[in-house]
Chain A
Amino acid sequence: MTSTQAAAADPTAAALDRARTLARAIGESAVFRAFEAAQEALEADAELGARLSAFQVREKELRLSRSWGGADPEEVRALEREWEDLAKHPVLAAQVAARTELLGLLREVAGAIGEGVGLDYGAACAPAGGCC
């Protein structure tokens, strides 16, 4: 059976096969490779990892306080300063830049698929939120 015949016999399977092919192409893209390298570098830096973890814990606590209306503005500013300081770290800066690039590529992919089929890809695939 040729690939055209196979696609005609089961168009859903053919589409999912194309989806896997696209995913492999994304995985082999320069943008994705750069992200993987930046992520690996970040994970290999134990000191930076510890600072990031501590930052994330404080951020989570502050977000919780904010949701109760009880976030201390001084603490918020201190956390912002901490992030500014962290973001200057070359390994983290590289990871953030690579992640932004990758997100740009993924947005392009999602946008093109959504436009092609007439649906909002992100809204269709994002975790469900509730509806009227």
Chain B
Amino acid sequence: MAEEPENGRGVVTERIRELVEALRAVPAIEQFRAAEERFRADTELARLQAGVRWSHERLQKAEREKRHDPRLFQEVRDAQARLQRHPLVIDFVATRQAAQDLLRETNQEMGAVLGVDIGGSVGRAGGCC
């Protein structure tokens, strides 16, 4: 059987574009993008995030100055808890998880055809919320 002709990068680029278009039509991605937009646009959330940063900076400053104040730890925890309880954050985290699950499934499909784990080759282990 004759071997398939080689592709240039242009073919790969076109197939990537088609895949991205198809992924963006999947509800998991649509919902994640919408949740992210709401997350970024919400002024109350921006205020809560600033609160987390502010209390964290106060804690770090106290640590640098060797002052150990348990109230500052509690302040950081409370600020983080307020942020994590916000419905838009809950929605954002849940939709991001679903979108990431879809990407992993996509990666597995490609790996099964190619024999190479693309995500594992280029990704960094870890990542954090």
Contacts and interface: CB of A to CB of B under 8 A. Distances in A.
- Tell me what chain B mostly uses at the interface: helix, strand, loop, or mixed: helix
B18 A118 contact: no
A131 B19 contact: no
B33 to A, nearest CB: 6
B22 A118 contact: no
Interface in B6-20: 6-9, 11-13, 15-16, 18-20
Interface in A76-132: 102-103, 105-107, 109-110, 112-113, 116-132
A124 B125 contact: no
Contacts of B18: 18, 21-22
Contacts of B1: none
Contact of B102 (A12, A20, A118, A122): A12
B86 interface: no
- Tell me what chain A mostly uses at the interface: helix, strand, loop, or mixed: helix
Q: How large is the interface on A (under 10, 10 to 19, 20 to 34, 35 or more residues)?
A: 35 or more
A16 interface: yes
Contacts of B99: 117, 119, 124
B95 to A, nearest CB: 11
B5 interface: yes
A125 B4 contact: no
A25 B127 contact: no
Given A25-B12, A117-B29, A121-B103, A19 B122 contact: no
A125 B22 contact: no
A42 to B, nearest CB: 16
A116 B23 CA distance: 9
A7 interface: yes
A28 B7 contact: yes
Interface of A: 7, 11-12, 14-33, 102-103, 105-107, 109-110, 112-113, 116-132
Interface of B: 4-9, 11-13, 15-16, 18-29, 32-33, 36, 96, 99-100, 102-107, 109-114, 116-129
